[in-house]
Amino acid sequence: METFRDIIAERRTYTATKNTHAHGYGQLIIPLQGELAIKAGPQSLMLKDTLFYVPPACEHTYHSIVRNEFLVLDIPHFMLSAGDTQDTGISCPLNNQWKGIRYLILNEMDDRPEPALKELFPYISHCLFQEQQPRSIRYIHEHYDEQLTVQKLAEMEHYNRSYYSDWFLKETGKTPSSYIQEVRLNKAKELLRNTNLSILNIAIQVGLEHQSSLTRLFQQYERVTPSQFRKMHAAG
């Protein structure tokens, strides 16, 4: 078991040789240049405009065939809460927020021979772990009005389609299609209660092409038609 007491931050490069290992600490890998292929458990992804958190004890394989440099944080296990030591890794797009964090870490490294990142870690942890709903599930809630496929959702989590369906069921207790239907149903119920939009318009707004599709959805889950639901929940 590693015994270091603070976060270790280093610039690291990777070779074309595939290496596989696991370690007892968490690791955050942030791109600086180039790209890195990494497979961690069931997840396979290319780190270029994406950063990746490897949880403790997660076996991972990595290599790069191009010139590269990454900012890597080794995070002692005792600094991680139980929720942060999950089995699967976390990927995040390298957006402006994370570029700002990267800048702060690099400045800390430039200013001190042994940078002390404990003060910065709560913020890093918040950005990485808090409200860390899986990306594909967030996408369903934000894009329920669009055509959604299991293949597309699986790719967001870097899983193959078969594994994703099993993972999704474990994560939510529902199949992806059932979960999408439930999200659309709940949004349609909200629109029926609070607007005077036509049934067809509501069907289209929640991602269904036909009024009959919305009617079937309501009859399946609510045992009433959308019109009956609206009358039952009419104000006054």
pLDDT confidence band for 110 (50 / 70 / 90): confident
Q: 73 near 28, Cβ under 8 Å?
A: yes
Distance CA 196, CA 235 (A): 12
Indicate whether 1 pLDDT > 80.
no
pLDDT digits (tens, 9 = 90+) for 47-103: 999 999 999 999 999 999 999 999 999 998 888 765 555 667 888 899 999 999 999
Q: For residue 94, with 0-12 CB atoms within 10 Å meaning exposed, 13-18 middle and 19 or more buried, which class applies? A: middle
Put simply, whether the predicted model's pTM sits higher than 0.85 gets the answer no
Beta bridge partners of 51: 92
Q: Which residue do the tokens 């976060």 mark?
A: 7
Please give the radius of gyration of the chain, using alpha carbons only, rounded to the nearest integer: 23
> Helix, strand or coil for residue 70?
strand
Residues 6+ apart with CB under 8 A from 110: none
Strands 26-33 and 8-12: unpaired
CATH superfamily of 8-132: Jelly Rolls (2.60.120.10)
pLDDT digits (tens, 9 = 90+) for 196-213: 999 999 999 999 989 999
Indicate whether 219 pLDDT > 90.
yes
What local confidence, expressed as pLDDT, does residue 66 receive? 97
Question: Domains of the chain: which residue ranges?
Answer: 8-132, 133-236
CATH superfamily of 133-236: Homeodomain-like (1.10.10.60)
What local confidence, expressed as pLDDT, does residue 223 receive? 93
pLDDT confidence band for 236 (50 / 70 / 90): very low
pLDDT confidence band for 119 (50 / 70 / 90): confident
pLDDT digits (tens, 9 = 90+) for 11-57: 999 999 999 999 999 999 999 999 999 999 889 999 999 999 999 99
Q: Answer with the residue of higher pLDDT: 204 or 110.
A: 204
pLDDT digits (tens, 9 = 90+) for 164-206: 999 999 988 999 999 999 999 999 998 998 899 999 999 999 9
What local confidence, expressed as pLDDT, does residue 79 receive? 82
Residues 6+ apart with CB under 8 A from 226: 188, 192, 199, 202, 214, 215, 218
What is the average pLDDT score of the chain? Answer: 89
Angle at the Cα of 125 from the Cα atoms of 52 and 89, rounded to 5 degrees:
30
Beta bridge partners of 90: 53
